[in-house]
Amino acid sequence: MPENPRQPRRVHSDEFKRSAVELVTKKGYTIKQAADAVAVAPRSIRDWIKKFDASAIPASVGSSNDALIAENRRLKKALLQAEMERDILKKATAYFAKESK
């Protein structure tokens, strides 16, 4: 009778896990896309998000008001950060364009 050909369990460093979480939280990947990118199960990514960045778990349909409010706060904060970065890049572009003339 053949044995179960299961692969040995892989162990990932915390740095690897945090990088995978950043794909979802900072780069905009879906959990499935991030899982495919780093060759792990989507369930692993979800677990790592809970472990390293619980605030980044998107609220789903039927979520409580508290979860939706927390997600709204998180998204507003992320939007402000993105707008600030965009403004800095605009100013830098204008400065370097003026310098090169």
CA 36, 40, 41, 47 dihedral sign is: negative
- Does 44 have pLDDT greater than 70? yes
Q: Which of 49, 56, 58, 39 is nearest to 18 (CA)?
A: 49
In a domain? residue 66: yes
Greater confidence (61 vs 73) lies with 73
Backbone angles phi, psi at 99, to 5 degrees: -65, -35
In a domain? residue 5: no
Q: How confident is the model at residue 61 (pLDDT cuts 50, 70, 90)?
A: low
Give pTM, 2 decimals: 0.48
Question: Of all residues in the chain, what percent carry a pLDDT higher than 90?
Answer: 34
In a domain? residue 22: yes
Q: Which domain holds residue 33?
A: 12-57
Distance of alpha carbon 9 from its chain centroid, rounded?
24
Number of domains forming the structure of the chain? 2
